[in-house]
Amino acid sequence: MSSTILITGSTGLVGKALVKMCLSQGHIVHYLTTQKSKIILTENCKGFFWNPQVDLIDICCFEGVEVVINLAGSSIAQRWTNTAKSSILSSRKQALELLYSIIKENKFQIKHIISASAIGIYPHSKTHYYNEDFNGNDTSFLRKVVRSWEGALKSFKSLGINTTILRIGIVLDKHEGALPKISVPVKAYIGSALGSGEQWQSWIHIDDLIRIFMFVLDLKLYGVYNAVAPNPVQQTDFVKSVASIFNRPLIFPKIPEFLLRFVLGEMSALALESQRVCAKKIQDLGFEFNFHELDAALDDLL
Ligand SMILES: NC(=O)c1ccc[n+]([C@@H]2O[C@H](COP(=O)([O-])OP(=O)(O)OC[C@H]3O[C@@H](n4cnc5c(N)ncnc54)[C@H](OP(=O)(O)O)[C@@H]3O)[C@@H](O)[C@H]2O)c1
């Protein structure tokens, strides 16, 4: 059944693909953007301006909306200066807080909110196999961001709105995100594994991720779900798979951790942390991945 869906953060990597899928399935899409230049108005797809930093939002965006999909947040793939860290943390919280207060104030009849989250909620571990029940109290920056993000979503329940959290892994897309950062140097004969290369990387093909969003939307699945492919790989194997797709040798030794920390600073955590995350919960509910194995995903994307 088609409905009107409000999407935040819709101009990003995930959002663009999600909007396309929603429209192709006959839904009407309203989207919120912080960039006035990205507002377009067509019959089925309407953009609205907001700026959660200053509590500014065009409330017409809620007209007829039953479902909200929240993807908004300042990119974590930027150097973690104090200003950037504050923006990464607050942008996610402020976006949800603004949606909450406007829905409450205007008594908008939203039935379901689905929010992006991240597997960064799971602490760095080379041995743990994480499912959604894991409860840790690690206080590193990534954990703090994701916990506060998920925490802000809980308040919607007090308005009688059903909530779904998708803890997204490393999204693989041909043009944006992590994959080009790995594949471009490999193709240019200068690729190498990062750190020990033993860290687990829980990836997901962009198409499967979008299918998971549609799956939880269509089946009205509430709660927390990992959005990762069933077969995470270790970093060395990831780079080797990319090299084999391009038929390139890996000439250079692994880039040592200390060097990555020196060059990237604290954000080197994104490359060095290990999270082996389990996809069983969503699979047990009937979700079928098109891309189970990394090689198949890379073959499709590269
Ligand atoms: N890509 C991944 O591998 C991955 C993995 C795990 C989790 N996630 C999470 O999933 C969500 C979507 O991922 P993505 O890769 O599509 O991210 P993205 O490409 O960085 O897009 C996020 C969108 O959020 C909006 N945004 C940026 N700063 C904002 C701010 N201060 N206030 C409000 N909105 C802001 C922007 O849209 P406008 O400019 O139109 O406002 C931007 O296009 C993100 O929250 C991300 O953290 C992504």
Per-residue pLDDT tens digits for 100-131: 999 999 999 999 999 999 999 999 999 999 99
193 is a domain residue = no
Distance 250 CA to ligand 1 centre (A): 32
Q: Tell me whether residue 86 is in a domain.
A: yes
Establish if 76 belongs to a structural domain: yes
Measured from the CB, is residue 179 less than 6 Å from ligand 1? no
pLDDT value, residue 147: 96
Is residue 196 included in any domain, yes or no?
no
pLDDT over 80 (residue 1)? no
Q: Please tell me which residue, 136 or 298, carries the higher pLDDT value.
A: 298
Q: pLDDT for 150-167, tens place per residue?
A: 999 999 999 999 999 999
pLDDT in tens, 261-280: 999 999 999 999 999 999 99
Ligand 1 pocket check: which of 71, 146, 209 to mutate, most ligand atoms within 8 Å of Cβ?
71
Q: What is the mean pLDDT of the chain?
A: 97
Is residue 95 lining ligand 1, measured as CB closer than 6 Å? yes
Range of the domain at 57: 4-172+202-228
Q: Is residue 118 within 6 Å of ligand 1 at its C-beta? A: yes
For 214-242, what is each residue's pLDDT tens digit? 999 999 999 999 999 999 999 999 999 99
Binding site membership of 165 for ligand 1 (Cβ less than 6 Å): no
CA–centroid distance, 72 to ligand 1, in Å, is 5
Residue nearest to atom 12 of ligand 1 (CA): 71
Give the count of domains, the chain: 1
CB of 35 within 6 A of ligand 1: the answer is yes
Q: Where are the alpha helices (DSSP H) in 40-140?
A: 82-106
In the block, residue with structure tokens 């897309």: 173
CATH number at residue 48: 3.40.50.720
Residue 257: is its pLDDT beyond 90? yes
Residue 191 lies in a domain: no
Q: What is the pLDDT of residues 182-194, one digit of tens each?
A: 999 999 999 999 9
Between the CA of residue 143 and those of 79, 121, 200, 270, 279, what are the distances in Å? Answer: 17, 5, 17, 12, 20
Q: Specify the pTM.
A: 0.98
Tell me, using a 6 A CB cutoff, whether residue 15 lines ligand 1. yes
In a domain, 284, yes or no: no
Q: Examine the pLDDT at 64 and tell me if it is beyond 80.
A: yes
**Alpha-carbon distances of 86 from 91, 94, 129, 170, 293, rounded to whole Å:** 8, 11, 30, 22, 36
91 lies in some domain = yes
Quickly tell me which residue has 């084999």 as its tokens: 244
pLDDT at 137: 84
Residue 100 lies in a domain: yes
